[in-house]
Amino acid sequence: MDLGTVLAKVQGDKYADAGEALQDVRQVWRNCHSFNEPGSEVYKACDELAGFFDQLWRQARLPCPSPSVRPPAPPPPLRGRP
The model's pLDDT over 30-81, given as tens digits with 9 standing for 90+, comes to 999 999 999 999 999 999 999 999 999 989 988 876 544 444 555 556 665 5
Q: What is the pLDDT of residue 63?
A: 80
3-60 has CATH 1.20.920.10 classification: yes
Query: What is the arithmetic mean of pLDDT over 8-36?
Result: 94
Higher pLDDT, 21 or 67: 21
Whole-angstrom Cα distance, residue 70 to residue 29? 9
pTM: 0.74
Predicted pLDDT at 78? 61
12 Cβ contact list (under 8 Å, min separation 6): none
